[in-house]
């Protein structure tokens, strides 16, 4: 399990400027962070990378390319208006400059393209990312055109790109009704990142709004023992961390919030053989 990182995903502390997350994250035991483009808007990327590294952290992932299908450019703005500018041409060079290994991609608009067509465009995206030495982690979202683990895995297999893999987000996994049995059978080297958060008894009347109103792991209804053991069965050594979007964590001081996230991650890891020692 060499090389695995404990990640503080940006969604756990969006209202705290990225450079102010660094020292508290490292003190809580995280070894890496993810970055949203809005985190570094107007900043000199080499300087950001240097400060991240000086804090004892790395950037594992930039989130996310949301405009990568032809239908996206013409999609109505709606709630995902800000996602439309998150193109590969913008995010791939940004990720490379920050030293990230992976850029996530997701389909949030619910376009009607069939999965074979989506897979073709995903393959094009992966080839583009390869020019930067980057991987693309496809994140399935229950309200999108790739709504489940089964759909995402079909896209990955059809695209057949070595730098194309999966992001497993526990909230999306649970809300999509995806199968723990299927998760356990995914090859571990095709899982590029794992984001952990919990879900209320729900489901929410508005799943889109629910995406950014989650719970810390252990505070909701996700069956963590089964999830973590299925994940462990894959043999994945990918980065794993907390993406809380949780109001109770938002209300805490930054250092306390980071420790709460770290404690939640430890509690999840304790349910599997993905040990703390392997993640330091």
DSSP-derived secondary structure for 5-47: -EEE-GGGSTTS-HHHHHHHHHHTT--EEEE-GGGGTTS-HHH
C-alpha of 256 from chain center: 22
Contact present, 3 and 31 (Cβ < 8 Å) = no
- Could you state, in order of their start, the residue ranges of all structural domains in the chain? 6-275
At 173, the pLDDT band (50, 70, 90 cuts) reads very high
Distance of CA 233 to the CA centre of its chain: 20
Q: What is the pTM of this model?
A: 0.93
SS3 content of the chain, % helix, strand, coil (to 5): 45, 15, 35
Average pLDDT, the chain: 92
135 strand-pairing partners = 102
pLDDT tens digits, one per residue of 56-79: 999 999 999 999 999 887 777 665
Instruction: Please compute the mean of the pLDDT values over residues 155-172 and round it to a whole number.
Output: 98
- Cα–Cα distance for residue pair 11/244, rounded to 1 Å: 6
Question: What CATH homologous superfamily does 6-275 map to?
Answer: Divalent-metal-dependent TIM barrel enzymes (3.20.20.150)
Task: Average the pLDDT over 196-224 and give the result.
Answer: 85
For residue 279, name the pLDDT band (cuts at 50, 70, 90): very low
């Amino acid at each position: 399990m060499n090389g695995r990182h404990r990640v503080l995903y940006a969604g756990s502390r969006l209202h705290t400027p990225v450079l102010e997350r660094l020292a508290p994250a490292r003190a809580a035991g995280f070894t890496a962070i993810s970055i949203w483009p809005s985190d570094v808007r107007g900043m000199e990327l080499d300087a950001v990378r240097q400060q991240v590294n000086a804090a004892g952290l790395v950037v594992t992932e930039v989130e996310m390319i949301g405009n990568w299908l032809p239908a996206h450019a013409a999609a109505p703005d709606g709630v995902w208006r800000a996602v439309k500018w998150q193109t590969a041409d913008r995010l791939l060079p940004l990720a490379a400059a920050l030293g990230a290994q992976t850029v996530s991609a997701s389909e949030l608009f619910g376009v009607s393209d069939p999965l074979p067509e989506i897979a073709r465009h995903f393959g094009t995206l992966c080839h583009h990312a390869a020019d930067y030495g980057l991987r693309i982690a496809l994140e399935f979202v229950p309200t999108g055109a790739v709504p489940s683990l089964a759909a995402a895995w079909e896209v990955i297999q059809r695209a057949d790109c070595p730098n194309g893999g999966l992001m497993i987000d526990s909230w999306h996994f649970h809300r999509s009704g995806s199968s723990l049995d299927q998760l356990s059978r995914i090859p571990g080297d095709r899982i590029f990142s794992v984001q952990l958060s919990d879900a209320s008894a729900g489901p929410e009347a508005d799943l889109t709004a629910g995406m950014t109103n989650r719970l810390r792991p252990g505070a909701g209804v996700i069956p963590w023992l089964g999830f973590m053991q299925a994940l462990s069965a894959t043999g994945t050594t990918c980065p794993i961390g907390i993406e809380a979007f949780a109001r109770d964590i938002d209300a805490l001081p930054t250092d306390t919030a980071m420790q709460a996230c770290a404690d939640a991650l430890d509690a999840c890891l304790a349910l599997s053989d993905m040990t703390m020692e392997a993640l330091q």
